[in-house]
A and B are shown apart, each in its own frame.
Chain A
Amino acid sequence: MTLLATPAEKAELMQAATKGRSLWDDARARLVRNKAAMASLFILSFLVLVAIFGPLLWPHPYDKIFTEHAGDGPMLQGGHIFGFDVQGRDLVARTIYGLRISLAVGIVATLVSLIIGVAWGATAGYLGGRVDQFMMRIVDVLYALPFIFFVILMMVVFGRNIILIFVAIGAVEWLTMARIVRGQTISLRRKEFVEAAEAIGAPTARIVGRHIVPNVLGPVVVYVTLTIPAVILAESFLSFLGLGVQEPLTSLGNLIQNGAKEMEIMWWMLVFPAVTMMVTLFCFNFIGDGLRDAIDPKDR
């Protein structure tokens, strides 16, 4: 008997033989077929790149005032294609900057909610019993709070601070995340691989971190992509009431608020930021819906 294959080759053969399509491969294939989601992904990547590098590349800074152009409409000369605001600042630069702040708020606040929500939900779901009841009761109570009012109160009481906006909105959005993760965890807890990990004596923290959390990722990813637009909307809501980021910094909500004030004469101040914001929200929502269909194809 001669061995035809070295151990390395054998491993390769084994792998080729057993290489099935994983859940994630399936999901990716379904997502790629979803035209709306792929187009959104493309546009959104472009917007993110613009938000990151735009301020470096665009010739006009967001806070530079062109006194002679105050209130002028879009013009090709000098590249002021979105026009100027009332003070004479270039609207392209301000829209890019606003997009940057809005995206940053959306992503950071969602991260905050992701971390709190996943930790809370996974712990409650895994430990179960009294601890679970107590933790979820807290979530129930917080859920019923009209949070946007507390965010407004916080802005008024503690002053307008961009860090506070991140934290406040993130603290609002973690509740749903905690519920989703808990539900998933409860069903995972009885699976064999968790039992096996328990049998070999793995500590609780390791089981939650290594086995539970990676497996709840699917629904969490979907919820994250749908939370980011919700957060961007919440921030713009605050900005619209005059409680968001402060001048000369700006966010899309801020620009829209200023635009709404001047819309009867200076329509460009409303239209360009509003369209930018809508496109961004569209993209996130389409990607979120696409991901949901891809990961959980029940509704198709």
Chain B
Amino acid sequence: MLTYILRRLRVAIPTMVVIIAVAFFMMRAAPGSPFDSERAVSPEIREAILAYYGMNKPLWVQFLDYWKGLLTFDLGPSLLYKDQTVSEILGSGFPVSMTLGISALILAISIGVPLGLLAALNQNSSGDYSVMALAMVGICIPTFVTGPLLALLFGVQLGWLPVAGLDRGDMTLDTMLLPVITLALPQVAIISRLVRASTIEVLRSNFVRTARAKGLPEFQVLTRHTLRAALLPLVSYLGPACAGLITGSVIIETVFQLPGIGRNFVTSALQRDYPVVMGAVVLYASLIILFNLLADIALGLLDPKVKYE
């Protein structure tokens, strides 16, 4: 088991290094710098600014400096908001994004899994077809369409829920409900399709036939034999699901004007606040890699077919 985890780490760590290196050098390769302001700045002041941010050193020294900072969780200062560090900016957005992502994941699993099971157990029935049609709708409609539409319906027309916005540190149910639902919808669709396909396959497998043949009640066949095997693909999908939720949250936070990391990322990318963008990329990448790793380990623990050698 330990060697299995180590082998996974052997992919995860180089990935992280590559991500940071690519992001770093891409930022530096960008034409123009954040200090090219409209006003002409005298060369001495420019020098001083560059020196202050350590940008007058050779590129590889800057790269090493960035790594040193990373290891001590220092992501550097923001170039735009002079009084804030990148860690502070990301730290203030993190609770919002995290709540959004985790609630959406829980919602997606708790709706997607039963729907998929329902469809699989009544394969080719009208119930199956309607669940799959709904899932297709969920996959095909982008969140930036569902988001505004839901806001229009429940926020503007019915007036039940606020359309957008969130007071910092005040995440009430009514402000988060629409964003969470919007973010969860595509994942509900994907998860229900996944669970349906794997359940259908498991139901035809030999061990389920054996369990039925020896006279187990159908309920036990389903819960103890089928479900355990059928949910394994879901476990391995959790890694990509988290990636999907994170990417989706960028859109959702823009649509609903939530002060999360996703919106920080987009606004700072547009304003070329490079350290904040770097910080967000590093944070996102490490989260995605972490969840992939956890999903792999969980699969290793649950699935007897995965070999650890």
Contacts and interface: CB of A to CB of B under 8 A. Distances in A.
Interface string A140-156: 11001110111011101
A263 B148 contact: yes
B140 A145 contact: no
A242 B270 CA distance: 9
Given A145-B15, A264-B156, A153 B142 contact: no
Contact of B243 (A146, A153, A260, A299): A146
A156 to B, nearest CB: 5
A164 to B, nearest CB: 13
Contacts of A149: 265, 280-281, 284-285
A281 interface: yes
A236 interface: yes
A242 B201 CA distance: 43
B175 to A, nearest CB: 19
B123 to A, nearest CB: 9
B254 to A, nearest CB: 7
Contacts of B255: 260
Given A145-B19, A148-B247, A274 B145 contact: yes
A299 B120 CA distance: 11
A241 B266 contact: yes
A277 B140 CA distance: 9
Contact of B289 (A144, A156, A281): A144
B225 interface: no
A157 interface: yes
A285 interface: yes
Interface in B136-160: 136, 139-142, 144-145, 147-149, 152, 156
A124 B150 CA distance: 47
Nearest to A232: B142
Contacts of B221: none
Nearest to B239: A144
B6 interface: no
B211 interface: no
Given A141-B11, A154-B26, A278-B141, A146 B148 contact: no
Interface size class of B (residues with CB under 8 A): 35 or more
A197 B200 CA distance: 40
B292 interface: yes
B145 A153 contact: no
Contacts of B12: 144
Q: Which of A154, A156, A242, A286 has the most CB of B within 10 A?
A: A156
A247 B250 CA distance: 23
Interface string A243-262: 00000000001001100100
Given A145-B19, A263-B148, A282 B140 contact: yes
B23 interface: yes
Contact of B285 (A145, A253, A278): A145
A157 B26 contact: yes
Given A153-B26, A153-B281, A154-B26, A144 B11 contact: yes
Nearest to B292: A144
11 contacts: A144-B15, A146-B247, A146-B285, A152-B269, A153-B23, A237-B247, A256-B144, A260-B148, A270-B148, A278-B141, A299-B197
Q: Which 7 A-B pairs have the closest CB atoms?
A: A281-B140, A157-B30, A260-B148, A144-B15, A141-B15, A240-B144, A156-B269
